[in-house]
Amino acid sequence: MAGPQHHRITASLKPAHSLSNNPSFCLSTMANPLNPYAALYEHPKGPGDQRPTAIRVIQDNNVAGKWRGNVILVTGGTSGIGAATVRALHETGADVYFTARDMGKGVQLAEKVRGQSSGAGKIEAIFMCLDSLESVKAAASTLLNLSGGRLNVLINNAGRPSISGMVGSCSR
């Protein structure tokens, strides 16, 4: 099922009314999350490609700067969909934490987002290796220490897109 649609966030985060500063509300009230951008998927290759980026979805739904004070965790934030999600969600103003199995990549991404994003929230990488339950528990503990025990949105993204993706190791 791997395809271009899986590399883009297509869901509408837009609530029906003014509660757009509440991420739980927004995500639970999507009328039909796949339809808002359906027409833009007609020409997915070349110059006709108008598929929305994750940041565009944030902008279109008018949630940039609206989620201040909320805490988001994205697992596997160092590559692909996770990295795009981290970058886009930071625009909401929320504090965004993401896990990295390679902290060098994690620190690099956090610095990049800090330099590019207009979001005022924190952005931090937390070490987590899915191969170790102890590492997962330690990451959860670190997150709760950093966030003061709060977590509003959890995006369980870390994983392998395919068997051929079964490469790499974990390193602090």
Ligand X SMILES: NC(=O)c1ccc[n+]([C@@H]2O[C@H](COP(=O)([O-])OP(=O)(O)OC[C@H]3O[C@@H](n4cnc5c(N)ncnc54)[C@H](OP(=O)(O)O)[C@@H]3O)[C@@H](O)[C@H]2O)c1
Q: Which of 57, 99, 92, 91 is nearest to 74 (CA)?
A: 99
In order of 128, 135, 137, the CA distances from 132 in angstroms are 8, 5, 9
Least separation in angstroms between residue 150's CB and ligand X is 23
Give the three-class secondary structure for 75: coil
The owner of tokens 């987002």 is 113
Smallest gap, in angstroms, from Cβ of residue 75 to ligand X? Answer: 7
Minimal CB distance residue for ligand X? 80
Return the number of the residue (69 or 165) whose C-beta is nearest ligand X: 165
Residue closer to ligand X by CB (options 2, 39) is 2
Residues near ligand X (CB under 6 A) are 1-2, 6-7, 76-82, 101-102, 105, 128-131, 157-161, 165, 168, 170
Q: How far is the CB of 68 from ligand X (least distance, A)?
A: 26
Question: Taking Cα atoms as reference points, which of 87, 94, 73 lies closest to residue 158?
Answer: 73
Strands (DSSP E) found in the chain: 71-74, 95-100, 123-127, 153-155
Strand, coil or helix: what is 23? helix
> Of the two residues 81 and 96, which places its CB atom closer to ligand X in the complex?
81
Residue 37: CB minimum distance to ligand X, A? 17
Measured from the CB atom, is 1 or 18 closer to ligand X? 1
